[in-house]
Amino acid sequence: MASLLAFTIVGLALLALVLKLTRSLPPVPRGPELVMPEGPSELAEQIGVLTQQHVDLSGLHLLPVAVDAFAMRVALARSAQRTIDAQYYIWDGDLSGRMLLSEIVAAADRGVRVRLLIDDNPTAGLDEMWAAVNTHSNIAVRLFNPLSIRSPRALNYLFDFPRLNRRMHNKSMTVDKVATIVGGRNIGDHYFGAESHGLFIDLDALAIGKVVPDVAEEFDEYWTSESAYPAEALLKSSTRDGLDAVRSPKFENQELADAYREATEEAIAKLEPAYLEGRLLTWAPVRLVSDNPIKALNKAKRSDLLASQIAPPILKASGRFDLISAYFVPSGPGSKMLEDLAQRGVKVRVVTNSVQVSDVPLVHSGYAPYRKRLLRAGIRLFEARPLSEKDGRSRRHGSTRFSGGGESVHAKTFTIDDRTLFVGSFNFDPRSALLNCEMGFLIDAPTLTEAFDRSLDEELTETAYAVSLDARGRLQWDSRRGEGVKIFNVEPGTTVLKRALLWFLSKLPIEWAL
């Protein structure tokens, strides 16, 4: 048995060496760039009227409702006359993913220059879709930090794990360089409420004004980086039929697709005129914070990372710090930062997922060991819990069928002193801090932040467990529904076996990768 194991290890090592020598990525091939069309942009002119009175500010509208977040992306794609630049970690080939892609291809058909930068880690099964889109004369697709072996994809990690473990987690869509959407949502049904289960609670921000050129510049840095490969250098060529299939997608559940399209049109009719007239916008100073794409090559200085950019304003908190992080692994340094805030009298509250609703239980095993330490420091912990149909999944964001009133938190946001609001892709964990590339907005808007905090105050007791320590220092979870309170003395929704597995995972030396 020992000899067989040794033989297997040697064999895998030799295979990894051969693959490293023969299948590593070559230098980035660069062809001619797509030409940006000339001429006026009606969208730019409309937005210019709004921004001329707020030259040093940005106009913002938060998008907590899933179908609204999708509708605004569709509205922007339809209004584009010059450019669409989008970068995403995930772009699924599902209902909403293909529906939005068809709108973007329609924009390209009108002559709009489209650049799509997609992280290659989650693209399994989508090579044909991206190859087809890339055949359009006005569209260029690039894959970030790509896998050189398209199938079987797992082989890439055998010989190139250190590089492939670093991903582009950024999420933005910018149109005509005058309007952008930045936030926590990828492109897919989980994020846009187009499913009956597995939905995420998330947050994006629509922005116009001063911050938009910064987002456009950030996109250009990633687009021209060493990690961005033209799709044609990696994917098999596609036929014209493939592009036609993207233009006119067919869906397995056409009834659902029709209903979702109808809900999207209703949301556009409600939102687009209101934001173009300025009625939805809050004007405020906004700062874009982002990682340099060289972080994907492990060449960035720690002092330049996004984590280092957001730390100073957090440390200056004097009264209140509320953190919502889908994946929360505070680690030693993060725990100390939160403890120091609490010690200075800052009211610190953290909202993350319970193991019941987490889509990555492994991450939960990295968070769980820190609960007692944080609670002893006076930090309040809340864990999103399952909602029954009686409670109403859509209660969180109204009664719209596709509101995205799900159970699992995917948002990455925090507020400081009822004044500063962060909206972006950054989770409070080692992966976002040290491995993945991230981006987000720091918004100095008291009215917006206070409204967000009030909403959080109102919803938490009905949608999350309040985690605390009992008189004997043991963890307990309080669940409130209406006037009733139920207290759990063991982690809700878990078995002895599952708790044992989580404990075992928490002992593995993998926190750095979570």
Q: How many residues are given for the chain?
A: 514
3-state percent helix, strand, coil for the chain, nearest multiple of 5: 45, 20, 35
Question: Is position 169 annotated as part of the catalytic site?
Answer: yes
For residue 207, give the 3-state DSSP assignment: strand
- 410 is annotated as an active-site residue: yes
From the candidates 68, 127, 412, 429, give the one annotated as an active-site residue: 412
Radius of gyration of the chain (CA): 23
The Cβ of residue 362 has, within 10 Å, a number of other Cβ atoms equal to 15
For CA atoms 186, 187, 188, 191, the dihedral sign is positive
Asked whether the bond before 249 is cis by omega within 30 degrees of 0, the reply is no
Rounded Cα gap, residues 60 and 74, in angstroms? 18
State the Cα–Cα distance between residues 207 and 508, nearest whole angstrom. 42
The residue from 136, 364, 397, 410 that is catalytic is 410
Annotated active-site residue 136? The verdict is no
Residue of 68, 120, 417, 429 marked catalytic: 417
Work out the widest C-alpha separation in the chain, in whole angstroms.
Answer: 76
Active site annotation includes 417: yes
The backbone torsions φ and ψ at residue 308, rounded to the nearest 5 degrees and listed phi first, read -75, -25
Write down the catalytic residue from 176, 189, 214, 291.
176
Catalytic residue among 61, 127, 160, 171: 171
In sequence order, the 6+-apart residues with CB closer than 8 A to the CB of 309 are 289
First-last CA distance in the chain: 33
Q: Helix 66-79 to helix 95-109 angle, to the nearest 10 degrees? A: 10
Catalytic residue status for 190: no
Q: Position of tokens 């002119």?
A: 45
Strand 380-384 vs strand 282-284: parallel, antiparallel, or unpaired?
Answer: unpaired
Catalytic residue among 61, 169, 190, 210: 169
Whether 322 is a known active-site residue: answer: no
CA–CA separation, 247 and 153 (whole Å):
28
Catalytic residue annotation: 169, 171, 176, 410, 412, 417
